[in-house]
Amino acid sequence: MMKALIQKICILFTVIMMPVYLFAQRVVRGKVVDEKGGAIIGATVKVKGTQNGTFTDVSGGYSLTVRLGDSILCSSIGFQPRTVVYKTAADLMIRLSEDTKTLGQVLVVGYKSQSRQEITGSVASVKMDKITEAQSAESFESLLQGRVAGVNIQLNSGEPGATPNIIIRGLAAVSRDDASSLSEPLYVVDGVPIISRTSNEFSITSTNVLADLNPSDIEQVVVLKDASAAAIYGSRAANGVILITTKKGKVGKPQINFNLRTGVNLVPQLLDVAGGPKEREQVARLYQLYAPYGTFMPAMYTDVTNPFYNNSSDWQGYLYKTSVTQDYNSSIRGAGDFGQYSISLGYMDNKGILFNTGFKRYSSLASTTFYALSKKLIIDNTLAISRTDQGRNPDALSTGYSSLLPLPENPIVSGAEVYQPGSTSNLNDRVRFSSDATLNVIKDLSYKASLSLEYLRQMTDSYTMSRRTLRADAKSGAGENRNLLFQNTLTYAPRFGDHKLSLLIGQSAERVESKITSVNNVTSAPTLSQSVLFGKGNAIGTSNYTASTLASFFSRFDYSFDDKYLLGASIRTDGSSKFGAANRWGIFPSVSAGWNLNKEDFLKDVAWLNNAKIRGSYGLTGTTWNNDYLALGIMNGGTLDQYSSLLQIAYGGISGYTPIWYDGFKNENLTWVKTQMGNIGLDLSMFNNNVEFIFDAYQKYTKGLLLTTALPTTSGYNQVYRNAADVLNRGLEFTLNTNIPISKKFLWNTNLNFAYNQNRVIALPDGNADIIKISTSGQDFGSIVRVGTPLNGFLFYKSEGIYQAESEIPVNPKTGAKLLGLQGKTLRVGDRKFKDQNGDYKIDVSDRVYAGDPNPKWTGGWTNDFTYKGFGLNIVSTFVIGRDIVNTTLLNRLRYGKDFAGKASMPNFDNYAIWEKSGDQAKYPTLNPWGDASQIINLDSEYIEDGSYFKIKAATLSYNFTKSLMPKLPFDRMRVYCTMDNVVTFQKYSGPDAELVSVDGFDLSGGYPMRRMWLFGVSIGL
């Protein structure tokens, strides 16, 4: 069918194009090349002051009717335009130099490319080539950190293969529980939206799904931040779109590249631990001070003959070790009359600093382009295959054991349950295939059809074995995700004099499918088997399946007059299977306009101003949710009730469907989460394009976030989902790029960007009732969603220090009763003094106040590039200013119950101001493990700290060998470099790293610290 069609179309075009060749009879022939002599395809060549012009062909050649003395204007996207006067034949060989300034770039935007100058939306781009050459990372997101204003990337775990959090222009997601609800952007690789996250229910491995994309294969990352840019992606674009373009071959001889590097991962500063004698001393002190009569320390603390007494195990030292990262990439790329090819292979082995952890990636990407019918037909094929392998520890392994416990290899603890041996493997395999054909139907009109298939399989296998019983606990699971996408676009981009027009219409159909199967068992006898062998009982495994489809029609229109006045509009309509038939389609429009001021007469004479553009846009985008069948009302055909046996499955042997009482009923009112976004911006380029300034102000109003609302018990249902919560984000973004040639040989480039975001909850369900978040284990951990405040604030008890004297404890003048502490406990000297907000002489839930905001106010990054001759120094830093975080880790380590001795490692008390006696200037109240009410509580505002930080993320020193510097160099190019990753962090926070906290602002207790890496590498271009 396709073949026949193409044949017919070929004939058609031969016929249509014939006159063009006939007309251009009396011509001169020339060529347009880049600085290296490579052909530039598709460059515009025209005689100045006439309509006489043409484009270069695949070999860079052109033919033009021209008279001697004519000025020939030559321009091509990505190059600085050049005018030559035709005097001799040699002048027809036009050499263009690359335009390195951002404004000259051409960017891939939704379904098409646009030059910087024509863009009316808020679009940022990052060239990945230089970054990936000298830095090694599991996923590209971490390399983007600090590069783009308004894109806040936080690496909240140092574990190899962990998923960074990306929030573009403020958090816009709400939940009632501790599942970190993120507003995830949409990821599009070479025009194809990919599986970027799997929903919790269908996620079986913990690995970052995007880590299978080798960062070295990426040419450019474009971030669509505002609605005018993103609305063409409709229902998934509300939180921004990240467009990834992979590297392609370039005209010229085959480019063969090797990049080989090895890194040494060093263990950073760990938790402070009181070892051996110090721990004994501290435990003894707590007993001496507080132990009730008749309570004695465990023998390991008192009996010198006890084998544990003299231990001082350094658990952290035992489990954390310096490790090695290897990262090898190679590629061969080229292009010519036939098309282009690009094949790359990558291998990465990143051993974690923590025992038994690590991340491996095997990746290959092959991309080919074929030209047919004299470039009228362009066929692209891309095949990407990758595997990631993340190793983890079983949950039972902890670095926080008491230092008196001997290390596992010590013979005195063989067979004791000190820690459970075992391991977890997480394998992700992804195959991505996409094929597209572009047909240039007639001049300015092209049609593109593309089909892509993606298959992601996730497998996890874990086992732990009890050292005492030798019984093994094995789990095995597989998850499969499949994504099928078919899209068609038609582009018409004519130019009538000064009027430039571009119209795109398109259609796409997408189907995403997920399946999960998981089994587990605990063996009933000692075993060495690590696989699941089906134990007894009914609960041996689970399986689930889900699928959703999306059908879309979209169109984008861009118009510019004289490159001065720009107008853009887009519309997309998405139909999703997730919605009931009545509410199936959503419409996402946007409009935008731009004004290139510098082209106006009144600015023509301002020499220092190269470019000035004012932009504005407004549009509507959407998001949906993970549960594919939520609106349809899934029925329950009978589930096993673990407590009452099978009582609910059948009655009298007959079983029937019931609603799922937790999800409510068929809910056709559920609809898209709609985000209205307005943006105004200013782009300035000055002083020979050496200074560039970009400013954006935005308002992002997210309406109808999905939340459950509890239903009255009389309805029978527990809750129902509604589009109930509204969140507003407002912000400013600044980017300053400078390119200062200090001398001819010494160059200094900087990129400074920072963004301010203000986050506010506008509406909540149930009459704007506060949502106090409850963790999945039923705990109130102090996070609140309240109207008028930023999301996920801390609802804590306000600390006012410590009661230093009995007389400080307030007494109710009416009753004469003293203020009652939490849980109605009698307060004593040395206890935490919480403010009795409502003055009822009782500290309880109603005394909690909004005590902090975990959403960063300012985020940004500062990158500096120094080049001197062949030397290069690159320093990347990121920062967050104005964020509150909770030192949960310290809090947990200072909280002791009455059987605390020997349970866990202790911090060295000398480093903390802990109250012991009246007059102590202390920050932390008495640690009395036998106190009535635990005085170290989760919701104590004393543990809220300033989470601002400035981090020098990476520093690279490199030397570039080139032929011009070393004519004898056997390669085209060679670069040796040394990078230090995670150089230094400046912070006020008392914990180890202010970045390693959850989105909600809690220091992840027992989290994985971020390694410091020395990376040595060589990159060779043949």
Gyration radius (Cα) of the chain, Å: 32
529, 658, 838, 846: which one binds other proteins (CB under 8 A) = 658
Does 650 contact other proteins by CB under 8 A?
A: yes
Nearer CB in complex with other proteins: 37/716? 716
What is the Cα–Cα distance from 313 to 419, expressed in whole angstroms?
A: 14
Span of 365-373, 493-501, 521-529, 635-643 interacting with other proteins by CB under 8 A:
635-643
324, 416, 603, 646: which one binds other proteins (CB under 8 A) = 646
494, 656, 741, 839: which one binds other proteins (CB under 8 A) = 656
What is the Cα–Cα distance from 553 to 505, expressed in whole angstroms?
A: 8
Does 654 contact other proteins by CB under 8 A?
A: yes
6, 9, 267, 873: which one binds other proteins (CB under 8 A) = 9
Does 374 contact other proteins by CB under 8 A?
A: no
At 105, is the secondary structure helix, strand, or coil?
A: coil
Does 634 contact other proteins by CB under 8 A?
A: yes
Binding string, residues 799-838; x marks residues near other proteins by CB under 8 A = ----------------------------------------
Which structure tokens are listed for 39? 């052909």
Q: What SS3 string covers 759-773?
A: EEEEECHHHHCCEEE
Does 254 contact other proteins by CB under 8 A?
A: no
What is the Cα–Cα distance from 521 to 524, expressed in whole angstroms?
A: 9
Assess contact for 941 and 851: CB atoms under 8 A: yes
Nearer CB in complex with other proteins: 410/718? 718
Nearer CB in complex with other proteins: 11/540? 11
Does 538 contact other proteins by CB under 8 A?
A: no
Assess contact for 847 and 797: CB atoms under 8 A: yes
Does 179 contact other proteins by CB under 8 A?
A: no
Nearer CB in complex with other proteins: 12/540? 12
The CA angle 953-983-140, to the nearest 5 degrees, is 30
DSSP 571-623: EEEEEETTS-GGG-EEEEEEEEEEEEGGGSHHHHT-TTEEEEEEEEEEEEEEE
Q: Rounded to the nearest whole angstrom, what is the least distance from the CB of residue 650 to other proteins in the complex?
A: 6
Does 775 contact other proteins by CB under 8 A?
A: no
Nearer CB in complex with other proteins: 368/583? 583
Q: Rounded to the nearest whole angstrom, what is the least distance from the CB of residue 986 to other proteins in the complex?
A: 43
At 945, is the secondary structure helix, strand, or coil?
A: strand
Q: Rounded to the nearest whole angstrom, what is the least distance from the CB of residue 131 to other proteins in the complex?
A: 40
Does 469 contact other proteins by CB under 8 A?
A: no
**Could you tell me the sign of the dihedral formed by the alpha carbons of 908, 911, 915, 918, in that order?**
positive
Nearer CB in complex with other proteins: 15/805? 15
End-to-end CA distance of the chain: 43
Assess contact for 685 and 717: CB atoms under 8 A: no
Q: Rounded to the nearest whole angstrom, what is the least distance from the CB of residue 541 to other proteins in the complex?
A: 14
Does 377 contact other proteins by CB under 8 A?
A: no
Span of 162-170, 251-259, 389-397, 629-637 interacting with other proteins by CB under 8 A:
629-637
Nearer CB in complex with other proteins: 525/654? 654
- Which H or E element spans position 47? strand 44-47
What is the Cα–Cα distance from 212 to 439, expressed in whole angstroms?
A: 32
Nearer CB in complex with other proteins: 518/549? 549
Q: List all residues 6 or more positions away from 491 whose beta carbon is below 8 Å from its beta carbon.
A: 112, 445, 446, 447, 448, 502, 503, 504
CA dist 618 → 230, 557, 681 (Å): 11, 15, 12
Beta bridge partners of 334: 341
Q: Rounded to the nearest whole angstrom, what is the least distance from the CB of residue 19 to other proteins in the complex?
A: 15
At 528, is the secondary structure helix, strand, or coil?
A: coil
* Selection from 1022, 1018, 1015, 1008 nearest residue 316 by Cα: 1008
Helices (H), 716-811: 765-768
Nearer CB in complex with other proteins: 10/904? 10
Q: Rounded to the nearest whole angstrom, what is the least distance from the CB of residue 189 to other proteins in the complex?
A: 23
Span of 261-269, 710-718, 940-948, 950-958 interacting with other proteins by CB under 8 A:
710-718
Nearer CB in complex with other proteins: 511/825? 511
Does 1004 contact other proteins by CB under 8 A?
A: no
Assess contact for 732 and 756: CB atoms under 8 A: yes
Does 711 contact other proteins by CB under 8 A?
A: yes
Does 546 contact other proteins by CB under 8 A?
A: yes
Q: Rounded to the nearest whole angstrom, what is the least distance from the CB of residue 173 to other proteins in the complex?
A: 22
Measured torsion, CA atoms of residues 924, 930, 932, 935, in degrees rounded to the nearest 10 = 20
Does 720 contact other proteins by CB under 8 A?
A: yes
At 211, is the secondary structure helix, strand, or coil?
A: helix
491, 576, 675, 685: which one binds other proteins (CB under 8 A) = 576
Q: Which phi-psi region, left, alpha or beta, contains residue 488 (left: φ > 0; alpha: ψ -120 to 50)?
A: beta
Assess contact for 912 and 922: CB atoms under 8 A: no
Binding string, residues 548-567; x marks residues near other proteins by CB under 8 A = xxxx----------------
- Using CB atoms within 10 Å of the CB of residue 817, give its burial: 0 to 12 exposed, 13 to 18 middle, 19+ buried: exposed
- Which H or E element spans position 21? helix 2-23
Does 644 contact other proteins by CB under 8 A?
A: yes
What is the Cα–Cα distance from 664 to 765, expressed in whole angstroms?
A: 16
288, 713, 921, 964: which one binds other proteins (CB under 8 A) = 713
Span of 247-255, 715-723, 888-896, 929-937 interacting with other proteins by CB under 8 A:
715-723
Span of 203-211, 257-265, 648-656, 676-684 interacting with other proteins by CB under 8 A:
648-656
Nearer CB in complex with other proteins: 665/950? 665
595, 717, 748, 900: which one binds other proteins (CB under 8 A) = 717
CA dist 137 → 48, 88, 134, 982, 1015 (Å): 48, 52, 10, 12, 11
Q: Rounded to the nearest whole angstrom, what is the least distance from the CB of residue 677 to other proteins in the complex?
A: 26
Does 633 contact other proteins by CB under 8 A?
A: yes
Span of 267-275, 320-328, 575-583, 917-925 interacting with other proteins by CB under 8 A:
575-583
Assess contact for 80 and 160: CB atoms under 8 A: no
471, 666, 760, 828: which one binds other proteins (CB under 8 A) = 666
37, 415, 716, 824: which one binds other proteins (CB under 8 A) = 716
Near other proteins in 577-616, by CB under 8 A: 577, 584
What is the Cα–Cα distance from 175 to 707, expressed in whole angstroms?
A: 7
Does 59 contact other proteins by CB under 8 A?
A: no
Which structure tokens are listed for 412? 């005195």
Q: Which residue type sits at 626?
A: N
Span of 659-667, 739-747, 832-840, 931-939 interacting with other proteins by CB under 8 A:
659-667
| Site of interaction with other proteins (CB under 8 A) | 5, 8-9, 11-12, 15, 441, 488, 507, 509, 511, 543-551, 575-577, 584, 628-629, 632-638, 641-659, 661, 665-666, 709-718, 720, 766, 774, 778
